[in-house]
Amino acid sequence: MTLVEPGFFRTDFLDPASLRTGSHTIDDYAPTVGAMRAAAASLHHAQPGDPAKAARAMVEMAAVPEPPLRLPLGADTLQAFDAKLDTFRKDIDAGRHIALSTDHA
């Protein structure tokens, strides 16, 4: 089993005919959901990913005898994964001494 985790691919997914958003916005969510709404609007028909290449990659992965659990597709997804891993590593390292202090002696 492989989890395919695509980034933004140049399809009509971000078209207003496909993507529906609520009319009500909440100011507290402007940095997160608001930023995603703005990004979606600016990326429409400018997404970095090529859907035909993504399809080929998924077919290729289906033939791998021992596929990885995760298949991030697109440079944008890899960049997001790398940032998440960097943050995760920083958090783990910051609390490592506390985490290790909880084992039985």
Q: Say what the pLDDT of residue 5 is.
A: 96
pLDDT of residue 59: 96
Residue type, 52: A
pTM listed for this prediction: 0.75
State the distance between the two ends of the chain, measured CA to CA, in whole angstroms: 39
Q: Which residues of the chain have pLDDT under 70?
A: none
Domains and CATH numbers, the chain: 3-100 (3.40.50.720)
Residue 9, helix vs strand vs coil:
strand
Distance of CA 104 to the CA centre of its chain: 38
Q: Determine the pLDDT at residue 3.
A: 96
The confidence score (pLDDT) of residue 93 equals 97
